[in-house]
């Protein structure tokens, strides 16, 4: 049996290809069923996210499975195979196991250490499990994969420090205010990064999100997505008096907030702290505003600096995670290799038990005067001899199976006892 992974991700394919191959929750059962119709695919699971589409499979015919899986992906997503064939990676056995562990532990993610992927892997496995698409090997792999990912997150700091500009802004806000629940956020403009920052703040429990834009309909659209409230752009002076956090991301060619205005504002606020996140280019807020007491101003470069420091910290933690994963890969491969000897041991025992029964029948026919107790003694003797004969070879075979030459021992034993064609 061979564990096989075939797929593509953000490092091998651009988003326009990934989105065409994306398999929705609604499509996934049908794709799993179609994969199950391929004779070479004995077990299967599909992981489809915005950054990757991967098929994990168990096969006895890797070449056939490798050829079939891309064709089935093309068929299931109605995407020409030629569009993505050269973007695919293929991993076998140890490389496939390592890949699964790294994916779930977010070492293979676009954002190193992000936490979402673990839940996505778990969901993909649960769907495959519910559809009876997995078997003993994939079940063991995915159970170990989820365990390794959790171990990486608890034993390293890979997910602790924010590495994006929006998440860095939230971290700084928490340092200023402590808990963010009950705080008011004012968004100026409707840029993508401003929206991301607002979403992060929403996740921390801010009380209200207000959105101001020169085009009021755009403010309404963004406010609806953020479950907030739109305000007219000419009302931002009044809203600034009540806001705790301001995220500014307009396309204005000049400063919107000047030092003199903000000095008056902080007086009206009676020195209540105000956190300004200026992620506009060119900047929306006069840098001199940062000199005013109780106003905390950070621009895009400040936030990027914080995020880059944290990225370095995550990379250092990732090195520890890689070592942990290598140990877990070695452990899983020892288990996987041990499976190779089980059919041989079963076949060998069956062969010897058949010989025992045949020879016992001959012997007992020649000893017709034995009573039932005496016959039982003879049978026990024969059974004991078989167990004694098998004990050391099977123990040694299991021990050697985890070594590099383990398969050689299996093949030699099968040849010596004539078991090559005896897989009844």
Per-residue pLDDT tens digits for 321-355: 999 999 999 999 988 877 777 778 888 888 899 99
Q: Is the pLDDT reported for residue 66 higher than 90?
A: yes
What average pLDDT does this structure show over 151-158? 90
Q: Is the pLDDT reported for residue 424 higher than 50?
A: no
Shared domain check, 146 and 210: no
Burial annotation 122-151 (CB, 10 A radius, 16+ → b, else e): eebbebbeeeebbeebbebbbebbbebbeb
* Pairing label, strands 295-299, 43-48: unpaired
396 pLDDT band (50/70/90 cuts)? confident
In whole angstroms, what is the distance from residue 195 CA to residue 108 CA? Answer: 26
- How many domains, the chain? 3
In whole angstroms, what is the distance from residue 175 CA to residue 389 CA? Answer: 71
Structure tokens at 71: 């064709």
Shared domain check, 135 and 217: no
| pLDDT for the residue numbered 251 | 86
| pLDDT for the residue numbered 343 | 79
| pLDDT for the residue numbered 423 | 47
Per-residue pLDDT tens digits for 263-274: 999 999 999 999
Residue 315 lies in a domain: no
Which residues span the domain enclosing 140? 2-155
| pLDDT for the residue numbered 216 | 94
Shared domain check, 135 and 26: yes
Shared domain check, 292 and 202: yes
305 pLDDT band (50/70/90 cuts)? confident
Residue 329 lies in a domain: no
In whole angstroms, what is the distance from residue 181 CA to residue 202 CA? Answer: 9
Point out the residues that are catalytic. Answer: 50
Shared domain check, 345 and 300: no
Return the CATH number at 108. Answer: 3.30.460.30
Of 286, 307, 328, the residue at which a domain comes to its end is: 307
At which residue do the structure tokens 């936490």 appear?
115
**Residue 291 · residue 259 · CB < 8 Å:** yes
Q: Which is more confident, 398 or 136?
A: 136
Shared domain check, 137 and 76: yes
| pLDDT for the residue numbered 265 | 96
**Residue 284 · residue 252 · CB < 8 Å:** yes
421 pLDDT band (50/70/90 cuts)? low
Shared domain check, 251 and 221: yes
Q: Is the pLDDT reported for residue 168 higher than 90?
A: no
Shared domain check, 174 and 290: yes
Task: Report percent pLDDT > 90 for the chain.
Answer: 65
Of 103, 123, 155, the residue at which a domain comes to its end is: 155
**Measuring CA to CA, which residue among 233, 293, 228, 226 is closest to residue 265?**
293
What average pLDDT does this structure show over 253-276? 95
Residue 359 lies in a domain: yes
406 pLDDT band (50/70/90 cuts)? low
| pLDDT for the residue numbered 311 | 77
What average pLDDT does this structure show over 152-161? 84
Return all residues near 399 (Cβ < 8 A) that are at least 6 apart.
none
| pLDDT for the residue numbered 403 | 61
Average pLDDT over the chain reads 90
Residue 335 lies in a domain: no
| pLDDT for the residue numbered 132 | 93
Shared domain check, 6 and 145: yes
Residue 269 lies in a domain: yes
Per-residue pLDDT tens digits for 8-65: 999 999 988 998 999 988 999 999 999 999 999 999 999 998 889 999 999 989 999 9
| pLDDT for the residue numbered 296 | 96
Q: Is the pLDDT reported for residue 399 higher than 80?
A: no
Shared domain check, 303 and 406: no
Shared domain check, 232 and 357: no
Shared domain check, 111 and 85: yes
Of 137, 155, 173, the residue at which a domain comes to its end is: 155
């Amino acid at each position: 049996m061979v564990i096989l992974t075939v797929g593509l991700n953000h490092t091998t394919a651009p988003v326009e290809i990934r989105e065409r191959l994306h398999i929705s929750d609604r499509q996934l059962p049908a794709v799993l069923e179609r994969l199950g119709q391929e004779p070479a695919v004995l077990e299967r699971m599909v992981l489809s996210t915005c950054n990757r589409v991967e098929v994990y499979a168990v096969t006895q015919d890797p070449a056939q499975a490798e050829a079939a899986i891309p064709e089935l992906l093309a068929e299931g997503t109605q995407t020409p195979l030629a569009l993505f064939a050269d973007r695919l990676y293929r991993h076998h056995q140890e490389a496939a196991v390592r890949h699964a562990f790294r994916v779930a532990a977010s070492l293979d993610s676009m954002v190193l250490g992000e936490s979402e992927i673990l839940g996505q892997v778990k969901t993909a496995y649960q769907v495959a499990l519910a559809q009876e698409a997995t078997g003993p090997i994939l079940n063991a792999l995915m159970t170990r994969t989820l365990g390794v990912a959790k171990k990486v997150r608890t034993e390293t700091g890979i997910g602790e420090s924010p590495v994006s500009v929006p998440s860095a802004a939230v971290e700084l806000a928490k340092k200023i205010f402590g808990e963010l629940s009950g705080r008011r956020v004012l968004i100026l403009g409707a840029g993508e990064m401003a929206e991301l920052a607002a979403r992060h703040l929403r996740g921390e429990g801010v009380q209200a999100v207000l959105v101001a834009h020169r085009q009021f309909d755009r403010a309404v659209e963004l406010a609806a997505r953020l479950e907030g409230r739109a305000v007219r752009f000419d009302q931002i002076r009044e809203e600034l008096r009540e806001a705790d956090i301001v995220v500014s991301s307009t396309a204005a060619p000049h400063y919107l907030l000047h030092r003199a205005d903000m000095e008056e504002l902080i007086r009206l606020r009676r020195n209540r702290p105000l956190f300004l996140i200026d992620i506009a280019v060119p900047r929306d807020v006069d840098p001199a505003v940062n000199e005013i007491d109780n106003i905390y101003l950070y621009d895009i470069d400040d936030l990027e600096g914080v995020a880059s420091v944290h990225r370095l910290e995550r990379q250092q933690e990732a090195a520890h995670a890689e070592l942990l994963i290598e140990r877990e890969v070695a452990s899983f491969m020892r288990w996987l290799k041990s499976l190779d000897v089980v059919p041989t041991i079963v076949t060998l025992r069956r062969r010897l038990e058949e010989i025992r029964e045949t020879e016992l029948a001959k012997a007992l026919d020649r000893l017709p005067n034995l009573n039932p107790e005496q016959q039982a003694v003879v049978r026990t003797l024969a059974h004991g001899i078989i167990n004694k004969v098998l004990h050391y070879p099977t123990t040694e075979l299991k021990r050697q199976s985890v070594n590099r030459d383990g398969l050689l021992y299996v093949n030699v034993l099968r040849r010596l006892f004539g078991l090559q064609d005896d897989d009844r």
